[in-house]
Structure 1
Amino acid sequence: MKKSLIGFGVAGVVAVALLAGCGSGNDMAGMQHGSTTTPPSSTAEQDGHNEQDVKFAQDMIGHHQQALDMAAMVPGKSTNPKVTDLAKRIAAAQDPEIKTMTEWLTEWGAAPASTSMPGMDHGSGHGSMPGMMTAEEMAKLNGATGAEFDRMWLDMMIKHHQGAVEMAKTEQEKGASADAKKLAQDIIAAQQAEITEMQALLK
């Protein structure tokens, strides 16, 4: 009788151990299953940006660089203090934006936009961007002086700004980066105001 009880006790312990083992195995399986049910985030989602953000930064850097080249022509050519002041403000606003967007591209592991092209060559490399001046237009502007230069510069910069606003609106619609979309909004607000100012100067 004692042997039977002992045998029953041993069998019970083994059964409990087996059940415990199965339970822990199920727990582990459940944990492993849980760890794989959530799909991994894409790189874009993790970094908070998408392809549109990269394109916006790359293109806007080149776009801004041409605006800086146009602004750099003003001293010594313009006879209008208001045009000279506006050119200084455009350069002061857009140069830091170029640096910010360049930093984004580095963080995103994207190729930086080329900003090393001389001003006369910008138009040939960015024909697909709205508002960009051709190399011929830049050369013609560089050859003008006085009132003719002021009129031509204002006409071209209005067109240039309108192109930047169009690009910024596309970024707001299709971009994913909160920072890039905020910059796009800032560009729209600032350049729309400058377009109004330049249209008044032309009159």
Structure 2
Amino acid sequence: MRHTLFASFLSALCAAHLSCGVLSAEDSHTHHNAHSHAYPHTHTTDSANQATISKAILEAMHAPMMLQDPSESKSPEIDYLTDMIPHHQGAVDSATLLLPHITDDELKTLAQNIISSQTKEIEDFKALLESNTLTNTTLSNADYKEFLKANKKAMESMMHQMHAVQPTDDIQKDFVRAMIAHHNGAIKTSKIVLAYAKDPQVRKIAQSIIADQEGEVKLMQKLLKKL
């Protein structure tokens, strides 16, 4: 299901590119002479195409999380890793779609780092879940409900902030604004799991995500002023 939806995003981008009409130099000259007065709103059309691409990128960022229900395994460790997989997948998918449209070197490096590091972490999380080496923290029913409640609140806050970013013709800025909210969601849930989980492997992962993504948020805030 996830791959089917991702394919639809790729199709949307292909359609957007085709609608831009990539022409050879000779064809472009002929096209201009023949239709110089037929298309007075080229800039508007280009802006609409850019917004279409931006929309696909933004949707890719949250789609995997929407396709998977939050984990309720009774283990904060299992829930955290299970829910972080689609969260990371959204970051990887959206950054992958963004790459062809990046003109800023710092943003390109950031996107590439997101793809490589979070793809690796997804593989690590899956392997850890399958290893049966986790020390699953036993919580009381009341404490576990509080854990789920905190995670739900963090997720809702993140989604609200991400959906507040409307697609425009500035693809790079749209991505950065939404990814800041996306990263803040991971930071919040990582801090939540540290308050409940005792497994050293999961605690190390959560601490690493907090450090890495807080650093990237600072970089993205800087990029917003430059782009």
So what's the TM-score if we normalise by structure 2?
A: 0.52
* Identity in percent: 30
Distance 1:73 1:133, change over 3 A: farther
Q: Which runs of 5+ in 1 are unaligned?
A: 1-49, 111-125
Opposite residue 196 of structure 2, the aligned amino acid is K
Is the 8 Å Cα contact of residues 59 and 129 (structure 1) preserved in structure 2? Answer: no
Q: Which runs of 5+ in 2 are unaligned?
A: 1-73, 135-151
1:33-69 Cα shifts (integer Å, max 9, x gaps): xxxxxxxxxxxxxxxxx70000000000110000001
Distance 1:177 1:91, change over 3 A: same
Is the 8 Å Cα contact of residues 92 and 119 (structure 2) preserved in structure 1? Answer: yes
Is the 8 Å Cα contact of residues 155 and 185 (structure 2) preserved in structure 1? Answer: yes
Q: CA deviation at 1:187?
A: 0.3
Q: What secondary structure is seen at the aligned counterpart in 2 of 1:79?
A: coil
**1:111-122 to 2 correspondences below 5 Å:** none
Bigger radius of gyration among the two = 1
Question: Which residue does the alignment assign to 2:221?
Answer: 199
So what's the TM-score if we normalise by structure 1?
A: 0.58
How many pairs are equivalent?
Answer: 134
CA RMSD after TM alignment:
2.9
Q: CA deviation at 1:70?
A: 1.2
Q: What secondary structure is seen at the aligned counterpart in 2 of 1:175?
A: coil
Is the 8 Å Cα contact of residues 154 and 185 (structure 2) preserved in structure 1? Answer: no
Question: Which residue does the alignment assign to 2:128?
Answer: 104
Selected match of 1:63 from 79, 87, 112: 87
Distance 1:109 1:165, change over 3 A: same
Distance 1:88 1:133, change over 3 A: farther
**1:104-183 to 2 correspondences below 5 Å:** 104-108=128-132, 129=155, 148-183=170-205
Matched, 1:187 2:221: no
Question: Which residue does the alignment assign to 1:77?
Answer: 101
Query: 1:78, 1:130 → 2: CA distance?
Result: 29
